Amino acid sequence: MKGLSRHSVLICLAAGLPGMACAQSLTGNVGSANITAGDRAAEVRLGADDTGLVQGRLHFEQAFTGWYQLRAIAAFRKPDEGDWDYSGLTLENWFQWAEEGKDQQGFNGGLRLAYTRSDGGDADEVAARLTLTDRFADKWEWRANIIAGADISSGSSGGIDLESRFQLTRAVPMEALGTDKWRLGGELFSEFGNSADFLPIDEQAHQVGPVVKAEWANGVYLQAAVRAGLTDDSDDLMGKIFIGREF
């Protein structure tokens, strides 16, 4: 496809680079690089795996300019048959450094810098995320994220955790639940370990699965996905659902 080949180099670069290793995220997304001045949103995320672990996040974000946005995230977790516990607070600074033209030339590029104040004795974390986004051939969109993170508390093991995420979706001609703005596609999450000790492929965590997105005229949006493990050290199965509203 002509539109696809125009972007294939960037897609392969972002999806194929060794990415980072944390525990597999049940509430992670393949983030967008787009920022629009004045936009704000609140969001709830829930994710669960086949062991019974449930994770949740509450988001609030505000775009102050066309190139800077701030997001606050409160995270929670619930082990199987356990109680909900507060995990920590994250502040994410988003920056957009490239914008796709109205004629679909170029792509959207961004950078996110995050600090997580963890609860319960866990190490605090810092992370940097390169975000690339592009819509092409009218109905297609790809997203790619490359993430590097590190513990910063005393007793940290050192090194940089590396991760990559990739998502490809297409707008579909479907009307359901009061909206015709639906996207279907798939996503790949890869976690490669720490730079101080890169893992062999069978000990890395790679998951793939379908994703669906929807938007409504009142600003409400939805995303749901299921991912299955591709390697021995991947979580076998997980599902997630995000519900938010822009206002």
11: pLDDT strictly greater than 60: no
Which letter, b or e, does each residue of 190-215 get, where b requires 16 or more Cβ atoms within 10 Å of its Cβ?
Answer: bbbbbbeeebeeeebbbbbbebbbbb
221: pLDDT strictly greater than 60: yes
Residue 80 lies in a domain: no
Residue 47 lies in a domain: no
Residue 56 lies in a domain: no
Residue 37 lies in a domain: no
Enclosing domain of residue 200: 2-31+103-246
CA-nearest of 219, 212, 216 to 239 is 212
Residue 232 lies in a domain: yes
Residue 135 lies in a domain: yes
Residue 86 lies in a domain: no
The per-residue pLDDT for 157 is 66
Total structural domains within the chain = 1
pLDDT tens digits, 84-114: 999 999 999 999 999 998 777 789 999 999 9
How much is the pTM?
Answer: 0.87
Give the mean pLDDT of the chain: 88
DSSP β-bridge partners for residue 88: 75, 118
Place of tokens 């787009």: 34
The per-residue pLDDT for 123 is 86
CA-nearest of 206, 172, 203, 174 to 187 is 206
- Out of 1-5, 21-25, 179-183, 229-233, least confident range: 1-5
45: pLDDT strictly greater than 70: yes
CB 136 within 8 A of CB 3: yes
Cβ contacts of 3 within 8 Å, gap of 6 or more: 136, 137, 140
Q: What mean pLDDT do residues 114-131 have? A: 92
